[in-house]
Amino acid sequence: MLVRAPGVYRVQHDTRLLIRALSQARIPHGGRVLDIGTGTGALAVAAAHHGARTITAVDVSRRAVATAWLNCRLRGLTVRALHGDFEAILGTDRFDLVLANPPYVPAPRSAPDRGAARAWNAGEKGRAFLDRLCAMMPHLLESGGVALTVHSCLCHPDTTVAQLREGGLEAAVVARSSVPFGPVMRELTPWLTSTGLIEPGQNREDLVVIRADKPRP
């Protein structure tokens, strides 16, 4: 059980799929881990259980940062919890494992600067965050490092894989799950249907986890 402050993104299908992919990834113990869009800190906690040596958790929500810090501390885990946009605050830090559950839901409005919708609203194409993340990923990983990113098939996994490969990483989809629409997707269904992103009557979406490996020299 995790503490969750009001407005902080709750553990859902995407978080659980990413944790399952992490458990199957055979990540070496003792690594430096970055959790982007930490929310409750569920991924940070899972990384610690899989042998992470140091954990950095980042979120644009102050409540999420505080929640992740608290959930780690309640379990006796040390975490560096940072508030802000990952591009602006990580500098030249490098990590052995990057875990990311970014905003990826296509929405008719631009990605907001504040509020709970920051956890999911990713602009009209669902890639307002993903494109930046893919561009930054080669600079976040140490040689031999691994990244695991989860998002919906509505925002084009092939694009994510192609962008990661263009950055010199080896990338592929390693996990997939079909899940029912949650409250946000149900609310957006008329708009998603009108734009052709989903079929009329569709009430499920496919989630994927994409793994990216940075080759050693």
Question: Measuring CA to CA, which residue among 20, 39, 10 is closest to residue 176?
Answer: 20
pLDDT of res. 27:
85
Average pLDDT over residues 64-89: 94
The domains of the chain, with CATH numbers, are 13-213 (3.40.50.150)
Average pLDDT over residues 74-93: 92
From CA 183, how far away is CA 169, in angstroms rounded? 35
pLDDT of res. 112:
66
* Length of the chain (residues): 217
Residue-wise pLDDT for 103-139, tens only, equals: 999 999 877 677 778 888 999 999 999 999 999 999 9
What strands, in cross-sheet order, belong to the sheet with 32-36? 80-83, 54-59, 32-36, 95-100, 141-152, 204-213, 170-180
- pTM for the model: 0.94
User: Is residue 73 helix, strand or coil?
Assistant: helix
pLDDT of res. 28:
81
